Amino acid sequence: MSSVQNNTVSLGTDSLGKLLARYAIPAIIAMASSSLYHIIDSIFIGHGVGGFAISGMAITLPIMNISAAFGAMVGVGAAARISIRLGEGNKRAAEQILGNAVMLNMVLGISIMLIFLLFLDPILVFFSGGEAGEETLQYAREFMRVIMFGNIITHLYLGLNEQLRASGYPRKAMFIMILSMVICTILNPLFIFGFGWGVQGSAFATVISQVICLLIQIHHYTSKSSFLRFKRSSFRFKRSIIINIVSIGMAPFILNVCASLVTRFMNTVLLQYGGTGVDDVIQAASFDGNVGDVYVGAYGIMNRVILLFIMVANGFNQGMQPIVGYNYGAKQYGRVLKTLKYTAICATCVTTFAFAIGMLFPEYVAALFVEGGNSAADKAMIDVVEQGLSIAMIMFPLVGFQIVAGGFFQYIGRAPMAMLLSATRQLLFLLPLLLTLTPKFGAVGAWMSMPIADSASVLVATTLLIIQVRKLKRMEREMLFGH
């Protein structure tokens, strides 16, 4: 137990470069593994079921994001508060936050499951804009029925992993995420190809892997050797704790909800206007099939590729979280600012690398997901992905900085600024651009809206961060010199 406690205390004393590597590398591996699983999952579905199954998965993405928004609200909010309390030396308060987070995740997980299962068909129609074909909707329906039955498992599993990292166990959090990905990767081909379960097989693989990992997490938090443990007295709702969790967690909640809205409207405008722009790859007049579904499937592929690199950048962001939270709680503001600087540089390098791949090798990325020779729709989907990536990722190098800036405000407890940055790109910029440009330029307008929104949101993030950095430097001077 003492060694674990020393690991936590080292957040305020060890070299920041070593600390960021110690916490970020496991988080990066875990986040990349999770994103890779979604890519592998799509590859299995694309090759084992077909391109329209990927279109069905694209429709489920915003629905799953809304569910994940509640889990992220609790998981990230609780983790940030735990880090600050540990920096203050208050272990008891940290354990109370842990217990309240578990109960809140259980309540939200069950509630969302019931709502989504009862109203699944109208929800699917809403998120497809009423334009998707019945084949696409059926794939989405089959997948979501299984996923929603396991929703409480997903909430608890993801939330507890955030708290693991915040309480000094970054490697164990990484191991659990990788284990989930490995189990899914093994079960996916077995269920899809071997048992012939199609998209439902992929959903079953996801839920089963999370059940196994949740059992490992429960064992950790009930073990006497763990630094933070489940205590019976902590499993009582405390209003002040819930408010603190939700206030910080509201930023990732808004981010996920906005992402869901954007995906919903992206799917809708692509279904309506895909193939209508003069520069679009597929022209409705020359393609014998549902043009809109092809564009939705292509966007689903693009989303998974982009998400992979965002996850890696978020790995650095998550590695920053316990370091910034602990040192902010300990009033070591110089270490807070240095950690911010190192993390921003690393995340920007990641998104710059992603930009290079999207610009230089879009056709190879697209070909991973569907076999171009299988059907005209699959070949068309590859062409759309090539075009979309080369436009959508033009300003992607800036995204890494914006991710870190938003996370930084969460980790120091500045809830209003974190919420504002979470909403700027998706809600204030991307959605209006999407609804304005796509009717005029078709799918090309949808792709163009993404780099424009990236540029605008980075300007907002930079302005707010400069103000906050100046404030922290002033606080540091007051700590050092007393004035």
Q: pLDDT digits over 329-384, tens only?
A: 888 888 889 999 999 999 999 999 999 988 888 878 777 776 655 566 667 778 88
pTM (2 d.p.): 0.69
Q: How far apart are alpha carbons 456 and 203 in whole angstroms?
A: 37
Counted residue by residue, the chain has a size of: 483
**Crossing angle between the packed helical segments 291-329 and 376-392, to the nearest 10 degrees:** 40
Whether residue 6 has pLDDT greater than 60: no
Torsion of CA 240, 241, 243, 246, to 10 degrees: 180
327 touches 335 (CB < 8 A): yes
Q: pLDDT digits over 438-480, tens only?
A: 888 888 888 999 999 999 999 999 999 999 999 988 888 887 7
- Hey, where are the domains in the chain? 2-481
What value does the mean pLDDT of the chain take? 81
H helices of 49-133, where?
A: 51-87, 91-118, 120-127
Q: What Å distances lie between residue 70 and 12, 75, 109, CA to CA?
A: 31, 9, 8
